[in-house]
Structure 1
């Protein structure tokens, strides 16, 4: 594209095609004030490239969040950085957590999954029935665990003592997943809210600009009509 189809960005002083710049008339006043503070030569005839305007838009959003919430958290700063860089915040946290899981954590998840299934309940019930049946039939001879089945109680106690902390380990991992998922939802919702607020402001600015243009056209038409009347 030739230079006559390019304009100079008033912020970075580089030339860009018209499709990659925005006129200053379409920049909201609060955001324009931030630009003027750094670049006093910014006026109604200036242009700004998209990268520079994104930078000042991020600063503008940061001022809004700071005014509403005070000091920004690390999550909110991450959202502002994503707005500046146009990054995507949505991610599959399950894959990330599973990839970082250790062998013990994976084993705890499998034990908790098996221990909370009907397969485990039916299998364990079958073992109990067989155990009690064998020792009941062998009452007249010499059972290895006679009534009241003390060895069975010992096995059940050991199994419960081992299974409980393993299940707690799995629950802790699930809580960590839920916490990461909640933080990710907060980042995505905050970014969506800021983007929607920016779009609303931009639409209001465009409508105001169009209304001003219509008034200018109406004034020109009125002037032409008056000239025609005077000629008559």
Structure 2
């Protein structure tokens, strides 16, 4: 009785691995054969490949496919290919990353812009204006220091607008940076999902074709057995 070998040589790197740590040629998708054959000319029936070389072959195949469809690859495309080959998660917590790199002035600009765009600021600002003008018109509690037409109030409002505008622009610029990073992250996720779904379809098609071949082989064996049985029944027995 012959025993199955427990180890086998990888056709790409030439190292010995346990059979459970190898992928046989028969179960590898045909679309990867070209990428593997470029590294291992002996790749064919009976050969096996280790998981590391198989991931590298998948990365080469995806890169070649994207080059054919899109031309020159961007840095984002390469990041997706690397994460796909390594099996890493590509999703990132972008808000936390941006906030960690923000300086004190940038965080202060965000808070000022948040407060300046709230109803609390609008109501408080209106109350201050009405109190300022009312006290200077009526002269109640103290002698008016900014009589009509409220030149000092106009100076304060102009100074506030001059300071508030660049602060809000700083906050908007940080928001644009967050939106750009979020868009890049969404592009990476969508591209990786598209590539994985495409590979999954190829795996399913290959598995179904492999199963159909097995079923056809079993059906042929059954037909042969039936023909043998019919032939044996028709053949007269010799005394």
When normalised by structure 1's length, the TM-score is: 0.94
Map of 2:237 onto structure 1? none
Q: Structure 1 residue 86: deviation in Å?
A: 0.9
Q: Structure 1 residue 87: deviation in Å?
A: 1.1
Counterpart CA distance in 2 for 1:14 and 1:172 is 53
Q: Structure 1 residue 138: deviation in Å?
A: 1.8
Map of 1:93 onto structure 2? 94
Map of 1:172 onto structure 2? 173
Map of 1:209 onto structure 2? 210
> Which segments of 5 or more consecutive residues in structure 1 lack a partner in the other structure?
none
Counterpart CA distance in 2 for 1:51 and 1:218 is 37
> Over residues 101-137 of structure 1, what are the superposed CA-to-partner deviations in whole Å (9 max), with x where a residue is unaligned?
0111011001111111111112111111110111011
Map of 1:52 onto structure 2? 53
Q: How does 1:41-80 map to 2 (within 5 A)?
A: 41-80=42-81
Q: RCO greater where, 1 or 2, for CA within 8 Å and sep 6 or more?
A: 1
Q: CA RMSD in A?
A: 1.8
Q: How does 1:1-232 map to 2 (within 5 A)?
A: 4-138=5-139, 142-232=143-233
Counterpart CA distance in 1 for 2:224 and 2:70 is 52
Q: Structure 1 residue 19: deviation in Å?
A: 3.4
When normalised by structure 2's length, the TM-score is: 0.91
Q: Structure 1 residue 228: deviation in Å?
A: 1.9
> Which segments of 5 or more consecutive residues in structure 2 lack a partner in the other structure?
234-239
> Over residues 80-100 of structure 1, what are the superposed CA-to-partner deviations in whole Å (9 max), with x where a residue is unaligned?
010111111101100000000
SS of corresponding position for 1:4: coil
* Over 6 Å off, 4+ runs: none
Q: Structure 1 residue 142: deviation in Å?
A: 5.0
- Gap change, CA 1:174 and 1:217, over 3 Å in 2: same
Q: Structure 1 residue 68: deviation in Å?
A: 0.5
SS of corresponding position for 1:16: strand
Q: Structure 1 residue 229: deviation in Å?
A: 2.2
